Structure 1
């Protein structure tokens, strides 16, 4: 035994480390549920779409406006909450966000007004704007940089698990009672999550220290935002997320109606079928998150392990999305639709890890807020465009086929452009070189803000 070492020192350290790990994975589980609830809230209107069109006397274009309205204040919510990060503990920010979700759902428990539906969707979008920034920021605070891929993928999987779990349940509630009851159920679920989060939620210790460098050049403690946000990797991430969010927005907004109005499935069957893309996405997200982490351990660059992997998945998903409308309705068509959506969703875990590769810890929340503000425009535009295409087509199926073909082209093009832009090693080296040049001759680091 070394001089001065107590017999209990190592067991105490091991116990502390084990307790911290348990807490970290408990927080990951809570954030998984957080993301799941956020996306379950989004799909309520889509699953109730046929009934809402009838009861609120809407056409396809108006329905597109409602679904687009969800994203009108999305960016504002992300940016405003980003300003509060660091000033208010994440425990209270996430709890407040989920509480606002529940409040936005309650009016539709009794209302049958188109205006009320639009306003409540706008409020829900405002509350859900900061969801990604908060959830991934807290997740990254519990794990060192080289171990973030899997927990990030698990939290990301909530995006697909929410609709996967909620689809059959919400459809059954609507069929048994009404769409009003579905809104009541989701509001109650949000309130339950708030209580649980306030009991167990907190930020981890990682932001307090300097992140371990993942590349040959260490990431500076701070990078000027003008340089950071105009770097090719951050622009590439924004392009990739814009394309993938177009897909997510259309699936959340229009997939149930595509299955019912376009392909002719009944409500119960559509409620189950709508879960298939989300099931594929949840599984592939975890699988490719593990693949990404394994590639990193084997010495592959972050450009390959996270960037090119994510872009390749999105590009392949885009090609499948272009292909499925050309098939006749049936099992093969549903399988191709599921594959396209699943591959795009499967890219999310590795893609989000790119942010921590090039963005200093103290600037991540603000940067994610800017990314959310940009890619949320895909959510604004995509449902509107599809609604107009369906409204102007000779048949609903023709409109849906054209809309998904356009979506596939957007995905494939966005993936190719992002793959060309994203290179974390190159940009991190440039940030480090700029930091050295900005340092005074005495050798003391100069502020980079």
Structure 2
């Protein structure tokens, strides 16, 4: 298949599109906030790790398993709802998810022990599992391929902004009102977002040609439009992007669940300091995401294909993250280790946009939601494994286990970087006929 044209799309023949640009960016802004709420929900237990362990009498392994329970149905829901997004309204799916998030917070907020906490997190994980692929699908459907890098990066940036905003805020709530009060706060915020989305949300024109409006870009060739999921998932591009994203998500899971405890237990930060310092890798990640979007967009406007603009750029991000994580044992002092961790996790955790836009380029519109959903389902299995793995290390090795977990993350990121460099080439794989 030829390189994707960088020429502006032709206006839709169905009539003028005045106001579509404003609506597209309104939807994008709402979905940025959607992902902020999503990751605030994920991060709250990590911020309250010491308080929860003391309150419920949990060791590190038990706490890791409780956090891993969040991902028990996460992957399955991501796959099923991601595929449903190809047939149902993303607006409706996103609204239902946001309402369920708020409902899922209530049992643990009311009271109960480990069983209630685990059940609440399993339900929350099932409701949040499809969030990223459906949000990306809903956002990218408003933009043609050559304009997708910035909105895709902004939605991913919502992950970072969610932690940056919630970490100090929820830490204050936890310290002054308890960890259950923080769950009530998150339930209320989720309902407010759902109300705003019900009024302002909308489905885009690029999702399914002919459903809501004529497609504003040339339709894919028949063989590509009819490509079965098995053909898409068997490509080297999908496999490489998925493996790279898996290693990136491993670092994200580690940051969410164990980084606050690492800062407090091994590096000597107070609870208040840790609530602020924990923002550092997410802030680095935000800058990296924006830089990646700018570099990728510039390269594609100049005619570069997805192999270089997405596979190589994404691989470089993971490689930098790997080097920084592997250097942590060589650093002296808490400050030096904190800087390396911030850079390692910030760069290493920034592959999501590359993965999403790569799949959007690889798959035809009628298969993009499902392909993203299956990818997210595979990738988020890292969230099931990483918390329990690190918990077991901490129980076995004490505070030294945290640093060993960082080294393991560095090794995984190196594997992900190699996969992105060597396997990702969406133009090559999209050009192959359906079988």
Task: Give the structure-1-normalised TM-score.
Answer: 0.89
Please point out which of 416, 421, 424 is paired with 1:422. Answer: 424
Please point out which of 267, 280, 283 is paired with 1:276. Answer: 280
Match of 1:366 in 2: 370
Shift of 1:199: 0.5
Match of 1:442 in 2: none
- Aligned counterparts, 1:19-38, within 5 A: 19-38=19-38
| Distance across 2 between alignment mates of 1:325 and 1:103 | 42
| Distance across 2 between alignment mates of 1:125 and 1:375 | 14
| Distance across 1 between alignment mates of 2:302 and 2:86 | 35
Deviations 1:112-141 (A, max 9, x none): 401111111111111111011210111111
Shift of 1:233: 0.4
Contact 1:309–1:347 (CA under 8 A) maintained in structure 2: no
Deviations 1:320-356 (A, max 9, x none): 1111233233322211111111112333323321011
User: Are the structure 2 counterparts of residues 96 and 257 from structure 1 closer, same or farther at C-alpha, using a change threshold of 3 Å?
Assistant: same
**2:234 aligned with 1:225:** no
Match of 2:82 in 1: 82
**2:331 aligned with 1:327:** yes
Shift of 1:201: 0.6
- Aligned counterparts, 1:60-71, within 5 A: 60-71=60-71
Contact 2:163–2:282 (CA under 8 A) maintained in structure 1: yes
Match of 1:132 in 2: 132
- Following superposition, which runs of at least 4 residues in structure 1 exceed 4 angstroms of deviation? 210-215
**2:180 aligned with 1:176:** no
Mark the runs of 5 or more structure 1 residues left unpaired by the alignment.
1-12, 436-447
Q: Secondary structure at the match of 1:346?
A: coil
Deviations 1:52-93 (A, max 9, x none): 010000000101101111111111211232343244322211
Match of 1:412 in 2: 414
Deviations 1:256-286 (A, max 9, x none): 1111112121110000000111111112111
Query: Which deviates the most, 86-95 or 236-245?
Result: 86-95
Match of 1:257 in 2: 261
Shift of 1:178: 1.0
User: Are the structure 2 counterparts of residues 211 and 69 from structure 1 closer, same or farther at C-alpha, using a change threshold of 3 Å?
Assistant: farther
Q: Secondary structure at the match of 2:332?
A: coil
Q: Secondary structure at the match of 1:70?
A: helix
Query: Which deviates the most, 343-352 or 24-33?
Result: 343-352
How many corresponding residue pairs?
A: 417
Please point out which of 290, 307, 310 is paired with 1:306. Answer: 310
Contact 1:75–1:372 (CA under 8 A) maintained in structure 2: yes
Match of 2:56 in 1: 56
Deviations 1:214-249 (A, max 9, x none): 99x998212122221111001011101111111111
Match of 1:46 in 2: 46
Match of 2:248 in 1: 244
Task: Give the structure-2-normalised TM-score.
Answer: 0.92
Contact 2:356–2:372 (CA under 8 A) maintained in structure 1: no
Q: Secondary structure at the match of 1:188?
A: helix
User: Are the structure 2 counterparts of residues 115 and 197 from structure 1 closer, same or farther at C-alpha, using a change threshold of 3 Å?
Assistant: same
Match of 2:97 in 1: 97
- Say which one has the larger Rg: 1
| Distance across 2 between alignment mates of 1:381 and 1:302 | 31
Which structure is higher in RCO with an 8 Å CA cutoff and minimum separation 6? 2
Mark the runs of 5 or more structure 2 residues left unpaired by the alignment.
1-12, 210-214
Match of 2:271 in 1: 267
Contact 1:95–1:194 (CA under 8 A) maintained in structure 2: yes
| Distance across 2 between alignment mates of 1:219 and 1:132 | 28
| Distance across 1 between alignment mates of 2:17 and 2:41 | 36
Match of 1:192 in 2: 192
Shift of 1:18: 4.5
Contact 2:359–2:426 (CA under 8 A) maintained in structure 1: no
**2:361 aligned with 1:357:** yes
| Distance across 2 between alignment mates of 1:203 and 1:177 | 40
User: Are the structure 2 counterparts of residues 76 and 253 from structure 1 closer, same or farther at C-alpha, using a change threshold of 3 Å?
Assistant: same
